[in-house]
Amino acid sequence: MSAPQACILDLDGTLVDTLGDFVAVLHVTLADLGLPTVSRTFVEHTIGRGGENLVRQTLAHVGAEPALFDRAWALYQQHYAVVNGEHAAVYPGVLEGLQALRARGVPLAVLTNKPVAPARELLQRKGLDGFFTHVFGGDSFERKKPDPLPLLKTCEALGTAPSATWMVGDSRNDAEAAHAAGCPVVLVTYGYNHGEDILAVPAAEHVARLDALRWLQG
Ligand SMILES: O=C(O)COP(=O)(O)O
Ligand SMILES: [Mg+2]
């Protein structure tokens, strides 16, 4: 893997541990609808494919009518805007890793399946917004990860070739999208990955902290 000309970073499970936010938002949304709540483990295994998917899967999990989706999604978004970041923490090594990449002149972008408005808000609330030249969300392009389109579009915005643009993520979603786009993949070992072993997902490198990237050690 050659030196990165730019890095694209995933948000939830990679930069910020947002599991507590998702759990809290689903808890109040389900209570509003008079539905039973879901476990933290269910949420951990279901996040990563965007909020719409999470709400849809949650309704199915508690045995609710799929027709409730529109109401549930509207409530979920309202609650998310308020809770955003309250039960979330930047992972150890992230700040140091972003600083080190910036010090080496690597342009950085965020590409998440979270809608772009709460993604920007979260980065700002956690003091990370200044690092990124671009922030794209699940509603920024026609399709979400694991489709390669959002990665190709992000490379286009960065002005770098996919083969020189690293994708750093926490799930097979990120890895599949990056492989299909032709971006080298780095996976962090502390995220969500749908409850599956991330070491089983092929990547150029697996790291326990962002600042432990091999390329930063030289
Ligand atoms: O599923 C989500 O909303 C967020 O997912 P991502 O930041 O890991 O892409
Ligand atoms: Mg993620």
Quote the percentage of the chain above a pLDDT of 90: 98
CA of 114 to the centre of ligand 2 (A): 9
Q: Which fold has domain 6-17+88-217?
A: Rossmann fold (3.40.50)
Q: How many angstroms separate the CA atoms of 36 and 157, rounded?
A: 43
**Catalytic residue annotation:** 10
> Nearest bound ligand to CA 55?
1
pLDDT at residue number 24:
98
Ligand 2 (ion): which residues have CB within 5 A? 10, 12-13, 170
51 lines ligand 1 (CB under 6 A): yes
pLDDT at residue 218 above 80? no
CA of 151 to the centre of ligand 1 (A): 14
Please give the structure tokens belonging to residue 143. Answer: 């399709």
pLDDT at residue number 2:
84
One fold for 6-17+88-217 and 19-83 = no
Nearest residue to 180 via CA among 191, 172, 190:
172
If pLDDT is split at 50, 70 and 90, which confidence band does 1 have? confident
Tokens 């809290």 correspond to what residue? 24
Domain segments of the chain: what residues? Answer: 6-17+88-217, 19-83
10 lines ligand 1 (CB under 6 A): yes
Nearest CA to ligand 1 atom 5: 48
Looking at residue 138, what DSSP letter applies? T
Nearest residue to 25 via CA among 64, 65, 63, 80:
80
If pLDDT is split at 50, 70 and 90, which confidence band does 4 have? very high
CA of 35 to the centre of ligand 2 (A): 27
Q: How many angstroms separate the CA atoms of 106 and 143, rounded?
A: 26
Sequence-ordered list of residues with C-beta below 8 angstroms from that of 218, at least 6 positions apart, any chain: none
140 lines ligand 1 (CB under 6 A): no
Q: What is the ipTM of this complex?
A: 0.94
The number of beta carbons lying within 10 Å of the beta carbon of residue 11 is 23
Average pLDDT on 21-49 reads 97
Q: What is the pLDDT of residues 106-153, one digit of tens each?
A: 999 999 999 999 999 999 999 999 999 999 999 999 999 999 999 999
The CATH number of the structural domain formed by 19-83 is 1.10.150.240
150 lines ligand 1 (CB under 6 A): no
